[in-house]
Structure 1
């Protein structure tokens, strides 16, 4: 279009269909050519032909990188070339039974080139290209975009910018071999590494939990059920007897021990999964990560190891499978576990005070007992003998926990030392109780003495305030009907109260006597002032008078009113004289 000035440069012909073209120069779009209405050409054929012409003129193409991939592996077949120059270009040259758009030669090597405008290279053509081992590149041209480009931009688009991909590369087979070799080497290395981890799993030190499980299984006489070999032991960080003992103790022994009736125990196979932390080999990946280089039967899983162990126990008749996925521990085995657990727990409690209770238990467990049978066989057989033994052990346990005399039958247990210890402990306990009682009494007596002294001190202080220091001290030992005030105060709070009442009564009596003496002194003073001679004053004081209710003035001193009455009478007598 850049070489056309206007419609005067025509006429214009389509390079694809040979039909006439119209020149158009719209105000809001790029100048372009257009077919007349009804023309059979779509414009894509022209672009296809133009692309081949440009390639033939320029003689070069931008080639993309060719890389084969397989998972994480990459193998480069050829490098990218931004401007690959051909020695010569041939257009529409037949090769075997197909004809590419162009054939580029570089020395003796050739490259087939296809321009994709409407149709991509189909599978048939791909097969033909591969059969002759001809390298082919497909360049995808967008007709809509091409029509909006100028001449130079369109040429650059065709040669370097349009998307392009390899249909076939003759070096692909060699690259695939190298890629397969690399992948196989990687798989072999991974397989060796995995086998090493399987053959040398990390070993975890036995924890208290594992040791306790082993001891429990041994204690219940079930050691023959654990330690069974498995093809998948590499999944565990502890020996087979350890993880099998842990599963047996947690899921079977605990449940059976809680059921003294010894009923059959039903379990789900899935319950045997879910191991505690640290039991499994965390260095091993999941099977789906290694399935391409490790057989599933060889690799296995923790679940398969557990189920294989359970299947072994089932085949031996130790477990039954009433229906798929469910396991049953027979009632007789549950009963033996329950009886054994109950018996050994009771005996351990009885022997807990011995220096080595476990050794004593082991010796008693297998020693000859009632009817010449050891306790182990009595417990395993159950029945009346077991019931009698259980009751006797329970009776001994009650005596062990509470005070009381021990029976003569100690069930064959070495409890003589415990009996002696018990008696000595009882004697020490009684001595401690008596000492505590004596101490309590002494403390109580001391406390009572201190409280008595305090009460006497309070009473003494009150007596000195009421009677004075000298008479108050004498009064503390004054005999009262109930004893001296000092003894009353020392006897308790009630005695102190009574002593205080007696002191208050005495104080009131003293106050009244003092008041009477004061009033009598007033009357006597008034009489001495009223009469000239003492004899007359004395006669007045000792003589009765009708005005005083025939009482003597010296007797009218019980109240201030009486005293005033006497003084008034005295003033009347004086006035009459």
Structure 2
């Protein structure tokens, strides 16, 4: 048996195909590599030759590389033994074994191994069963994947013996190895399932608790008597880092207390998360919710002894808690058509009225500087007797009695706004602010007294300055004008002294009086001049002072029965009177 690489010319002998035993022609052209060729019309594909060559080469070299043996189960893989080149004690070709016949049966350190070369077909299922029944180790070498026509002699041998893909068809230790792997996988599964169960249900949680938040929420729920609705048993506590009393308090505070306090009764209160009504658990502070849980596959949960319904989610835990308060306590109502929770109307009203009343009392006590106002307000709500009941009960019932009580408290609240001077209230509704109320009253009286004194001083100052201004402007007429001038039915001196506004308006009256006086003086001077001119003309006309005086001071019918001296008030009147004098 010779490879074409061992031939240099056709004269080296006759060449026969080991596959079909037909005569071959050696060709070694300038453009093509050396090769053997069948005669025209031959049906030989060469694969049979490759198959026989592979068997013969194993027999010649008596060595082969056996593949590694691995077993796999459910994603896990074990290496039974690695790939290894072995020397063969013996090689027997086409030797029947039990009810099958391998291409080669070899002995390795006294142990048999069957070799199959895959050239045409792989080992079929029937043969696999026979090999398994015989419990004979068998390796299949895949020669279909190698470009054997293009390989040199050494490369082809190396592919057949060592490098071509090969797998175990059967190995006696394979079943036991698989059983061991399955056992290990099962043990690992059980361990992981236990770890997962411990992680979900038992892992210790050490959150950084916001103590200020806890105190504030506790105070709010206690003030509304809602603290008894938290800390309920639940099957979904594994979703939180804190006990149920805290995360349930967060839900109750966000979905019941806060909206009931914020919104006036009358409008429906729809429960909603931070984003929408589908995320009711979003109001729970982040430090309360575990971030180390995730949506685990159903099979992993079942392996851990849990179900999807038991595992659920933080959102389902919130819904389950709220549903319990809806069904058992009637704090909420559920509208199936909307798949939405609403705060029960009567619960909304009770919480709002009670919080509103108690908050108003706290503000009053704070305004009156009462120590520990919050604690006193809580006691007052439950102990003070009003109309035969307590404020707590009255606020819960609502109605006219509550409205009247709220008005009484509002009056006290307004009184604490000292900067607005609301009326002093005598009905203190049992609040310990009597001393503060009396001090407020006294301080107002003292303030009013000082204000009156200040007003009196200011009034006296305005009175003095106004008199001085009137005297300066009107001189000898000032006192008469002050006594005779009235504004709004009040003497002008008193009227102008009452306020700065009146004071300055009074100056306008002085200015007008001064102007009138000046006008009178000017008019009197004009009349005096006219009378002098008339007297001079009369003396000249009568040439007798006595007759002239008689004319001037006697009534005359042509001037309306007036005396000429009196009628001489204007230039026109002067000309009229001059016309009455005798002509020379």
TM over 0.5: yes
Q: Deviations over 1:14-46 (max 9, x none)?
A: 222233333222434431223334322222222
CA 1:203–1:385: 2 relative to 1, 3 Å: farther
Q: Report how far residue 341 of structure 1 moved.
A: 2.8
SS at match of 1:296: coil
Q: How does 1:396-435 map to 2 (within 5 A)?
A: 396-401=412-417, 402-420=420-438, 422-423=440-441
Distance in structure 1 (CA, Å) of the matches to 2:443 and 2:125: 101
Distance in structure 2 (CA, Å) of the matches to 1:124 and 1:205: 67
Distance in structure 2 (CA, Å) of the matches to 1:148 and 1:2: 11
Distance in structure 2 (CA, Å) of the matches to 1:39 and 1:144: 23
Pair 1:361 & 2:371 matched: no
Tell whether the 8 Å contact from 1:262 to 1:332 is kept in structure 2 after alignment. no
What corresponds to 1:291 in structure 2? 301
What corresponds to 1:271 in structure 2? 279
Distance in structure 1 (CA, Å) of the matches to 2:297 and 2:352: 43
Pair 1:63 & 2:81 matched: no
What corresponds to 1:233 in structure 2? 237
What corresponds to 1:27 in structure 2? 30
Q: Report how far residue 73 of structure 1 moved.
A: 5.0
SS at match of 1:409: coil
Distance in structure 2 (CA, Å) of the matches to 1:431 and 1:69: 104
Q: Report how far residue 243 of structure 1 moved.
A: 0.5
Tell whether the 8 Å contact from 1:100 to 1:113 is kept in structure 2 after alignment. yes
Distance in structure 2 (CA, Å) of the matches to 1:423 and 1:29: 126
**TM-score, normalization: structure 1?**
0.67
Q: Report how far residue 364 of structure 1 moved.
A: 0.7
Q: How does 1:143-542 map to 2 (within 5 A)?
A: 145-197=147-199, 198-207=201-210, 208-267=212-271, 270-274=278-282, 275-284=284-293, 286-288=295-297, 290-291=300-301, 293-297=303-307, 299-316=311-328, 317-323=330-336, 325-352=339-366, 353-401=369-417, 402-420=420-438, 422-423=440-441
Return the match for 1:84 from 86, 110, 123. 86
**TM-score, normalization: structure 2?**
0.67
Distance in structure 1 (CA, Å) of the matches to 2:113 and 2:103: 11
CA 1:108–1:306: 2 relative to 1, 3 Å: farther
Tell whether the 8 Å contact from 1:59 to 1:88 is kept in structure 2 after alignment. yes
Distance in structure 2 (CA, Å) of the matches to 1:121 and 1:395: 102
Distance in structure 1 (CA, Å) of the matches to 2:46 and 2:435: 116
Tell whether the 8 Å contact from 1:213 to 1:242 is kept in structure 2 after alignment. no
Distance in structure 1 (CA, Å) of the matches to 2:135 and 2:436: 99
CA 1:432–1:16: 2 relative to 1, 3 Å: farther
Distance in structure 2 (CA, Å) of the matches to 1:195 and 1:144: 52
Q: Report how far residue 417 of structure 1 moved.
A: 4.2
What corresponds to 1:552 in structure 2? none
Q: Report how far residue 421 of structure 1 moved.
A: 5.5
What corresponds to 2:39 in structure 1? 36
Tell whether the 8 Å contact from 2:65 to 2:162 is kept in structure 1 after alignment. yes
What corresponds to 2:143 in structure 1? 141
Q: Report how far residue 396 of structure 1 moved.
A: 2.6
SS at match of 1:270: coil
Distance in structure 2 (CA, Å) of the matches to 1:430 and 1:37: 138
Tell whether the 8 Å contact from 2:251 to 2:318 is kept in structure 1 after alignment. no
Distance in structure 2 (CA, Å) of the matches to 1:422 and 1:9: 137
What corresponds to 1:11 in structure 2? 14
Q: Report how far residue 301 of structure 1 moved.
A: 3.6
Distance in structure 2 (CA, Å) of the matches to 1:293 and 1:432: 88
What corresponds to 2:115 in structure 1? 113
SS at match of 1:305: helix
SS at match of 1:265: coil
CA 1:362–1:67: 2 relative to 1, 3 Å: same
Q: Deviations over 1:510-551 (max 9, x none)?
A: xxxxxxxxxxxxxxxxxxxxxxxxxxxxxxxxxxxxxxxxxx
What corresponds to 1:48 in structure 2? 51
CA 1:239–1:40: 2 relative to 1, 3 Å: same
Q: Report how far residue 244 of structure 1 moved.
A: 0.9
SS at match of 1:278: helix
Tell whether the 8 Å contact from 1:76 to 1:175 is kept in structure 2 after alignment. no
Q: Report how far residue 305 of structure 1 moved.
A: 2.6
Q: Report how far residue 334 of structure 1 moved.
A: 2.2
What corresponds to 2:459 in structure 1? none
CA 1:428–1:241: 2 relative to 1, 3 Å: farther
Single out whichever of 372-381 and 165-174 deviates more from structure 2.
165-174
Distance in structure 1 (CA, Å) of the matches to 2:111 and 2:195: 44
Distance in structure 2 (CA, Å) of the matches to 1:143 and 1:15: 21
Q: Report how far residue 130 of structure 1 moved.
A: 3.8
Tell whether the 8 Å contact from 1:77 to 1:175 is kept in structure 2 after alignment. yes
CA RMSD of aligned residues (A): 3.2
Q: Report how far residue 107 of structure 1 moved.
A: 4.9
CA 1:264–1:225: 2 relative to 1, 3 Å: farther
